[in-house]
């Protein structure tokens, strides 16, 4: 054995060099590769609890270093055993297309969403996605290994309200139904999921003092005018953020241009629900209509990350509005115990004290409280609705 430091000859099996004292370590033999180059790779993903197959399918120039090329890899995931992964790899090397396992919950959800998206509205699908996010601890588990107890734990750990728990159960049942239809699982474990007992939540309306604070913040706190307009339109938060500029129309009544918003979709109150814009928010609505570069009346302003560089508009999602717009503004203004839906209750309270027919008020709210609102089309003329909105304080 040769000492790597002083090059002295040392007896075989020596631990230290007799000349310089350096610790001697036997050179380990390099492990022979089980597969050569261009033969693919098989490895276990601990975070996903499954085996994956990876092969090189091409090459591309490096974006970071000129003159270098990087491999383009394709991955097949979700194999429960190494044997199945190796069998899939052999099929690939022989030019066959292997059956890609979709046994992970996340893969099944993605496949189900692709299959189901044409059956529901984007808003409904967004609700399912939000509910699915509460099962995040199970994303990379094989769906066949997930028990009812695993799903129930996710529901019990969720601190949201009754509606969220109901949606979690519905989402789980739809995913497992899809998995059953496609022979991915053998049984449905979602039938007896317990939603739990939830206290009825009473959403308090914003007080006149709260509304004044919000109005005074317009111009100094971004998006304050959005919340102020919500209090005078009565739309549900999701409906409010979906309003497009082409839904804002005008009608000449007694030589006065009356602005009104048509919801433009089927609702509980019928089709093409009409909400007349009160005078209190008309200046802000006109300002929103004059904003260029977006089709939405209340869009999200987008900025380059970590900078103030404005890069365009996009539709604001309900969850983003709740967590990053409404709550921070309420905290900044010192308003406690209010949620976005409180603005709708504020509008309802204003209608109670306004003049006009009770059926017109129900139509403005989009309720099914009165027989006439159950018809397919809203029957209250704009003139009657204007009587109500003109008396709103």
pTM tops 0.85, yes or no:
no
Bridge partners of 300? 314
170 backbone dihedrals φ, ψ, rounded to 5°: -60, -45
d(CA 237, CA 326): 11
Whole-number pLDDT of residue 36: 64
The ranges of the chain annotated as CATH 1.10.443.10 are 208-390
Work out whether strand 69-79 and strand 274-276 pair parallel, antiparallel, or are unpaired.
unpaired
Q: Where are the beta strands (DSSP E) in 62-134?
A: 69-79
d(CA 200, CA 197): 9
Whole-number pLDDT of residue 6: 86
The set of residues, in sequence order, having a beta carbon less than 8 Å from that of 308 and lying 6+ positions away, is none
Per-residue pLDDT of the chain in tens (393 residues, 90 and over written 9) = 788 888 888 888 788 888 888 888 765 555 655 666 778 899 998 876 778 888 888 888 887 788 888 888 888 877 778 888 898 888 888 888 766 555 789 889 998 999 988 888 887 888 899 999 999 989 888 888 899 999 999 999 998 888 889 999 999 999 999 999 988 888 999 999 998 876 555 578 899 999 999 999 999 999 999 999 999 998 888 889 989 999 999 988 888 888 988 875 544 444 467 888 999 999 999 999 999 999 999 999 999 888 889 999 999 988 899 999 999 999 999 999 899 989 988 988 888 887 777 777 777 777 544 443 334 334 457 777 777 787 787
Whole-number pLDDT of residue 20: 86
Three-class secondary structure of residue 324 per DSSP: helix
Whole-number pLDDT of residue 267: 44
The ranges of the chain annotated as CATH 1.10.150 are 105-181
**Correct CATH for 105-181 of 3.30.160, 1.10.287, 1.10.3470, 1.10.150:** 1.10.150
For domain 208-390, the CATH superfamily is Intergrase catalytic core (1.10.443.10)
């Amino acid at each position: 054995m040769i000492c790597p430091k002083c090059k002295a000859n040392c007896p075989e099996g020596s631990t230290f060099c007799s000349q310089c004292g350096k610790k001697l370590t036997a050179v380990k033999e390099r492990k022979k590769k089980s597969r050569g180059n261009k033969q693919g790779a098989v490895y276990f993903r601990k975070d996903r609890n499954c085996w994956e197959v990876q092969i090189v399918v091409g090459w591309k120039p490096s974006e970071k270093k000129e003159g270098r090329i990087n491999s383009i890899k394709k991955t097949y995931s979700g194999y429960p055993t190494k044997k199945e992964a190796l069998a899939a790899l052999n099929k690939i090397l022989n030019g066959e297309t292997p059956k890609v396992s979709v046994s992970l919950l996340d893969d099944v959800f993605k496949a189900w969403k692709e299959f189901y998206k044409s059956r529901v509205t984007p808003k409904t699908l967004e609700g399912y996605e939000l509910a699915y996010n509460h099962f995040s601890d199970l994303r990379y588990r094989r769906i066949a290994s997930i028990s009812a107890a695993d799903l129930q734990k996710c529901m019990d750990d969720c601190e949201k309200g009754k509606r969220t728990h109901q949606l979690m159960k519905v989402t789980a049942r739809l995913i497992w139904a899809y998995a059953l239809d496609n022979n991915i699982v053998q049984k449905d474990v979602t039938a007896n999921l317990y939603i739990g007992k939830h206290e009825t939540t009473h959403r308090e309306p914003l007080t006149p003092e709260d509304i004044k604070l919000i109005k005074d913040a317009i111009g100094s706190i971004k998006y304050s005018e959005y919340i102020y307009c919500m209090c005078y339109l009565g739309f549900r938060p999701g409906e409010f953020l979906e309003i497009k500029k082409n839904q804002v129309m005008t009608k000449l009544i007694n030589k006065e241009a009356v602005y009104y918003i048509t919801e433009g979709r089927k609702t509980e109150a019928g089709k093409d629900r009409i909400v007349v814009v009160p005078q209190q928010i008309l200046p802000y609505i006109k300002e929103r209509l004059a904003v260029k570069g977006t089709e939405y009346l209340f869009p999200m302003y987008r900025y380059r990350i970590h900078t103030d560089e404005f890069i365009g508009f996009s539709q604001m999602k309900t969850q983003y509005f709740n967590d990053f717009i409404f709550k921070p503004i309420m905290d900044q203004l010192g308003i406690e115990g209010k949620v976005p839906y409180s603005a709708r209750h504020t509008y309802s309270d204003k209608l109670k004290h306004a003049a006009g027919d009770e059926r017109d008020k129900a139509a403005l709210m989009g309720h099914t409280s009165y027989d006439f609102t159950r018809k397919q089309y809203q029957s209250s003329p704009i003139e009657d609705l204007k009587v109500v909105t003109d008396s709103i304080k």
